[in-house]
Structure 1
Amino acid sequence: MNHNVKLSLIFSFLSATSRGIWAFTVLSGYLYELTKSNFHVGLAEGIQGTAQVIVAIPSGIYLTDGIGRDKTLKIAGVVGIICIGVTLSALLIDFEKNKRYIFLCVSLALWGAYSGVWAGSLESIYADSVHESEKSKYLVIKFITRLCANAAGPITGVVLFVCLGDTWTRPELTAVFCTGIGLSAFASACLFFFDDAQTLGIESEAAYGQIPIDPETDSDEYKASNVVHSGITGRGYRTLGERDSNTKSLNALPHKNHVDVDEHEGELSRLSPALLEKEDKMSAIFLFRKEAVPYILVMSDVLMGLASGMTVKFFPLFFKNEGKLSPIGCFAIVICTFPLMSILSKVAQYISDPETGFLSRPQVCILASYSGVTLLVIMGLFKSIWQTWYIICPIYIVRTAVMNCNYPIRKSILMNFVPKRSRGKWNSIDSVTKFGWSGSAMLGGYLCDRYGYGFSFLVTAAIQFCASSLWWLLVPLVPRRAGQ
């Protein structure tokens, strides 16, 4: 296994384990006990999400795709160490409530910046270190690694609360909080050991809709302006649909250059003239071209992330305040969620596989998202089941698992349609939607305080439905097999 791949998996496990201890149930519970306000919980976590948005995209463009993935990750490691020091100071120094809250907001802003720096670079160096034909497989491995860590974190939290006392009081919450923050130091240390020299060349390049450039037949002018460099001398790719300076139509190109790539195997196969003619006609409408795929993905994920941000940070408080669950009860829900999510992610990969499945990857994502939205609507409408734990907890567990099980598929599509030279930028944008859920938490806190948790769930479900529906645009653009 590649050095960067192994290190990515280790970092992902340690980072997700530490976050599983402090960043969800404990953080929301601590902030609520400090302020007694959903709005102030949302404000603090909204600051974290906003900081990530501000940092992530410039980091992806100017650092990840500029100075290199490994150097950017080393910078993130330094920021991570600073985050740990500031957060422990906010928790352990004897401040009065308002000052402690402000100090915690500052520390959360730093954590947002930290995620904004490392997230895009880590995803990029991971993708650059995996063979194109194995991207879906290794993304699932990484996803399952994170899920296992997300379960390991809450299990550690349960053990700590058993030892300290299963109550929502600040001394117990502080002790568990500090434990999770301390574990983050090991994850930050991993960031200093990544190495760009151990990434792959053309084997890791984006595949879809790209035409190999022949150094002997393509003009120097074209190669200088349109090559997506592969890392192998004299060879590169250009995007399907781009014209040579001496060519008015794709059909005028030599037939040997008309190639596409199978979405899972990464093997080059020739495009039929009929397919080229069809793509040429559709190219006038951007949304019907393969170049539009990353933009559609990001639009959908931004909407999905904003919607999730209004509720995901408040689920622990929902179960605490409405379900009357203890910290161990909330952690138990999380522990049950991630194994199911892991199983469903493998099922999603199986049924979207061109050899074993019967649905395309976009269709699987649509099915999973619509199912999750339906279950969230049930949670929002039927308040009578909120305190019946054996009904509301399974609904939430299945809803969360099915809603998030398609992440590896979404990521594999993005990496298939993004050239290697731009992965830092696109992964930074993608990381904002993945980790920046807290950006809309302030609005969610306001809705919870003003109208209740149920109303917030329904608003979230409506926006998630719209975000999921954008995936219908991808169905004709992401083929199940080569040549389709």
Structure 2
Amino acid sequence: MLGRLVKQYYALEYNVRLTYLYSAFFCSSCSIILDQVLAGYIYVLTGSNEPVGMVTGIIGLVRMLVTFPAGYASDRFRRDTVLKFAGVLGLICAAISLSAYISGHMLLLYVAYACWGGYFAIQRPATEALFADSIPNGQREGPMTTKYILMNVVGTLGPIASIVFFYIYGDSWSLSGLQIVLCGGMIVGIPGLAVLFFFNDDLAYENNRRANNRLSIIEDGELSDLDVTPRGKERSLLLQNDSDNEPPELWETANTFYCLGPRHIPFILFVTDFIMYNGAGLSISFFPLFFQNVYGLTPSQVNLLFVIQPALVVLL
């Protein structure tokens, strides 16, 4: 069965494979460095709930500010170039985060997660656009669903690893234990950041299709040059004009859902991130502290809750 899965994986489009690989590494890392362990670490370090909300708010604010220029860059420049820039920024974020975890310096932690907010705003539009362009139109439901399930499955790996660590080395909210878990989670995400340097716009399905269409037009034009009659010359000129002035795709301006269409996607993503990260700063980020302080749950018990939640999402 494993061999069959490997064959199916290699049968996928190049950029689709890389997207799955990136998701496997980095989503498992994010389940540690962005969720319950981080909240517990900040609370133990400062003895206050306020910095937990500050970190989440900083991520959301920076991500909101960078979303529009990042989306413009994804449209204006090659997506693989944007992802390489995101990869460099991600490695810088990882280095700052590791330094902040080890030193316990809150100002450095704020800087690190501000950089992460910029990273997510730059990486997400380029990755999603290249992922979609690497799948034929009308066949994206399966790969999109697979990616969503994969993200939820690997999202349980971080909490599971944390449970194992706390079970072996002591199930208590100690600063040293939380530092080790956070550093380990950050190291797991580094291979995912390295994957960003290998995406390739030229291997995307949609780009290959457009290139092949242009090539066929050019070849047809060269063949028509053999026809020296006035009609042949006229046909050659028409082919050249078609290749130089391709009409815009109708779907770019059409409304596909009531008054909304593809041109509204950047605004929808903007509003989604704004609501999600501000809402998380007011509620979800404090769930681990609520369970810790009110119910007296240990780190492994809190992590167990965060294993059950994505597992139920996948099953249901």
Q: TM-score under structure 1 normalisation?
A: 0.52
Give the distance between the partners of 1:61 and 1:238, measured in 2 at CA. 16
Alignment partner, residue 57 of structure 1: 68
| Alignment-derived partner of residue 13 in structure 2 | 2
- Asked whether the 8 Å contact 1:21–1:156 carries over to 2, the reply is no
Higher relative contact order (CA 8 A, sep 6+): 2
Q: CA deviation at 1:179?
A: 0.4
- In structure 2, list runs of 5 or more residues that go unmatched: 1-11, 211-237
The counterpart of 2:98, out of the listed 88, 92, 102, is 88
- SS in structure 2 of the partner of residue 156 of structure 1: helix
Note if 1:25 corresponds to 2:36: yes
CA distance in 2, matches of 1:32, 1:55: 28
**CA offset at residue 225 of structure 1?**
9.3
**Paired position in structure 2 for 1:128:** 133
Q: 1:51 to 1:302 in 2, by over 3 A?
A: closer
Matched, 1:331 2:303: yes
Distance 1:302 1:26, change over 3 A: closer
Superposition deviation, residue 203 in structure 1? 9.8
- Shift, 1:331, TM fit: 0.7
Deviation string, structure 1 residues 79-130 (Cα, Å, up to 9, x no partner): 111111111112224x6xxxx1111111111111221221111111111111
Change (3 A) 1:298 1:75: closer
CA 202–19 in structure 1, closer or farther in 2 if over 3 Å, else same? closer
Q: Does 1:111 align with 2:116?
A: yes
The alignment's C-alpha RMSD in Å is: 3.0
Q: Is the 8 A contact 2:41 2:179 kept in 1?
A: yes
1:31-180 mapped onto 2 (5 Å cutoff): 31-62=42-73, 64-93=74-103, 100-180=105-185
Q: Which residue of 2 aligns with 1:289?
A: 259
TM-score normalized by the length of structure 2 = 0.78
What secondary structure sits across from 1:133 in the alignment? coil
Residues 262-291 of structure 1, C-alpha deviation per residue, up to 9 Å, x if partnerless? xxxxxxxxxxxxxxxxxxxxxxxxx94343
Structure 1 residues 293 and 190, CA gap change in structure 2 (3 angstroms): closer
Higher helix share: 2
Contact 1:7 1:194 in 2 (8 A): yes
Pair 1:313-2:285 in alignment? yes
> Is 2:248 the counterpart of 1:227?
yes
Give the Cα–Cα distance (whole angstroms) in 1 for the partners of residues 315 and 165 of structure 2: 27
Q: Structure 1 pair 115/239, CA: closer, same or farther in 2 (3 Å)?
A: closer
Q: Is the 8 A contact 1:131 1:200 kept in 2?
A: yes
The question of 1:322 aligning with 2:294 is answered yes
User: Which whole-Å deviations, capped at 9, do the CAs of 1:292-341 have from their partners, x for residues lacking one?
Assistant: 87488558635641334421111111111122211101110111111210
Structure 1 residues 181 and 298: CA distance shift in structure 2, 3 A: closer
Indicate yes or no: 2:153 matched with 1:183: no
CA contact (8 A) 1:131 1:204 kept: no
Figure out how many residues of one structure are paired with residues of the other and give that number: 275
- Check 1:126–1:238 CA distance in 2 against 1; reply closer, same or farther (3 A cut): closer
Kept in 1: contact 2:39–2:52 (CA 8 A): yes
Do the aligned residues in 2 keep the contact of 1:129 with 1:204 (CA within 8 Å)? no
